[in-house]
Amino acid sequence: MEAYTGFAALYDAFMEDTPYDEWKEFLIRKLKENGIEDGLVLDLGCGTGTLTEAMAAEGYDMIGVDMSEDMLQVALEKREASGADILYLCQDMREFELYGTVRAVVSVCDSVNYITEPEELKEVFRLVNNYLDPKGVFVFDFNTVYKYEILIGDSVIAENREDCSFIWENFYYPEEQMNEYEVTFFQKEGELYRKFTENHFQRGYTLDEIKRLLAEAGLVFHEARDGNDFGPVTPESGRIFVIAGEQGK
């Protein structure tokens, strides 16, 4: 089943504790450290546009790319409410196309983990390199093998709210480094609840794998930071932010 269809309308409600403000501040700090204080920035795997809107409010000219029409519909509603000048494109990140180059590319909320084949992820990185301005910057996060295998593993999470609830069943397959989660939602409609289920697959990556794929795609690795406190990466880092750059076509 295509990911983020029925879930799209509920996504922001269930992601309300996601530290988008902290991520935004980190991204902007890294962009400014590389001399990027304005200009075109691509949000790759932008989802419902929460980060895209936040970056636009900081003065960046934003483009958002996502393959889910339902998620982008929510993003368009946010754009209409804010009046932000954001271009949204419904494209698969494995074969996205832009009209020209951008100063930076950002990608958060483990979007790259949805690319479950390393060769396909290398192609994503190659496209990023292709559409970056000379000396452009790529900042993204990813979930590690440690997170999927140790922190999440085979588990069940349930949460009940006034108008909706969900059951999250998680399964990890160590040989393939593959994580599967089946999410069942119950959304209140009048006196009844509508039930729908989605299956998602993500692949865990190690930092060494990411570094290798970046290099093979023509990007240069700059640094990596822990996704929780933005300090040094440790073996127990569940989410890692990576800063890479264009080094000449």
For the domain that residue 53 is a member of, what is the CATH number? 3.40.50.150
pLDDT tens readout for residues 37-79: 999 999 999 999 999 999 999 999 999 999 999 999 999 999 9
Nearest to 105 by CA among 125, 135, 128: 128
Residue pair 168/181 in contact (Cβ under 8 Å)? The answer is yes
Q: Could you tell me if 32 and 110 lie in one domain?
A: yes
Provide the β-strand partners of residue 41: 62, 104
How far is the C-alpha of 208 from the C-alpha of 33, rounded, in Å? Answer: 24
How far is the C-alpha of 78 from the C-alpha of 51, rounded, in Å? Answer: 11
**Chain-centre distance of CA 177, in angstroms?**
19
- Kindly report the pTM of this predicted structure: 0.92
pLDDT tens readout for residues 148-193: 999 998 999 888 877 788 898 999 999 999 999 898 888 888 888 8
Count of the separate structural domains present in the chain: 2
Among 61-75, 89-103, 188-202, the least confident range: 188-202
Residues 19-44: what's their mean pLDDT? Answer: 97
Q: Could you tell me if 125 and 220 lie in one domain?
A: yes
Q: Could you tell me if 71 and 183 lie in one domain?
A: no
Instruction: Please report whether residue 101 resides in a domain.
Output: yes
Q: Could you tell me if 134 and 173 lie in one domain?
A: no
Q: Could you tell me if 69 and 122 lie in one domain?
A: yes
Instruction: Please report whether residue 1 resides in a domain.
Output: no
Q: What is the pLDDT of residue 119?
A: 98
How far is the C-alpha of 19 from the C-alpha of 60, rounded, in Å? Answer: 20
Q: Could you tell me if 220 and 178 lie in one domain?
A: no
For the domain that residue 187 is a member of, what is the CATH number? 2.20.25.110
H or E element at residue 13: helix 8-14
List phi, psi (to 5°) of 60. -90, 145
Q: What is the pLDDT of residue 248?
A: 74
Place of tokens 């559409």: 131
